[in-house]
Every structure is written in structure tokens, then in C-alpha cells.
Amino acid sequence: MSDDAGRGRPGRPTAHGSAGPVDPMADPATDPGMRLPVPAGEEPTQPVPAPDTAPARRSRSGGLWVGLILSALVLLLLLVFILQNGAPVQISFFAFRGTLPVGVALLLAAILGILLVAIPGSVRILQLRRAARRGARPER
């Protein structure tokens, strides 16, 4: 219960400890019980319309911008990694021998690992698309 006389209105229940109306969607412009009392001799002010609280819709271009920003951050981190790991290292691959900075060698190894996964995955996607165009069930 509250000692505040202005809080409890007859015929209108209030929640214990709440500072606002029971109905969070109530509008002061349409509900006279929510309007603030106007001192004598002053003109009542117009109610301020509530801001549109509808969530913004997501779009492809918005997703593209998020992807571009994240890609730029990853690229920046890769650049810092390569610059900090510039010590030369001896690389041997079959008959090829050479010297590369450690950061560049690790970056090339990561790119080759990505290709190792991406190439078979791409081939499988093409197989499934071809099967879907024919209308046949995709093979497993």
C-alpha cells in the first residue's frame, strides 16, 4: 500500500510498487485518468505523442553493411597479426624452398585450409542444385 493519495484512483487497480499505469500501452491522450492536473490559470498542454516503438525491419543491404564492417575488422586483425609476426622462417614444400615471415606463412596455411573445406562443399552444393532442377530427390 502507498501513503500517496494521488496514486490510488477509485475503480482503477494499481500494482504494488509500480510508478506507471497498470496498462503499459495506456495513452494519456485517450485516458483522462492518466492526465496530470493543470494548475489553475494555466492552459493545458498538448500531450507529447509516444515515439514509434516498432522494431526496424532488417534488409539485405543492412546485412551487407554488417558483413562488410565485420570483414574489415577481421582484416585489420589479420594485418596486425602479420605485422607483429615478421620474423623470417624457412618453408619447404616438396621441391620448393623459401623464406617467408611467420605471419604470412600462417595466413597462407589458413587460406589453404579454407580451400580444403570450400572446394568439396561447393561441389556438393552444385550437385544438389542440379538434382533440384531435375526434380529428382537429392542423392545422399
Report helix, strand or coil for 91: strand
Domain residue ranges in the chain: 97-140
Q: What is the pLDDT of residues 88-125, one digit of tens each?
A: 999 998 999 999 999 999 989 999 999 999 999 999 99
CB contact at 8 A, 94 and 75: no
Whole-prediction pTM:
0.46
CA distance to 18, 77, 92, 140, per residue, from 105 (Å) = 62, 16, 11, 37
Q: What is the pLDDT of residues 42-96, one digit of tens each?
A: 776 666 666 666 677 778 888 889 999 999 999 999 899 988 988 999 999 899 9
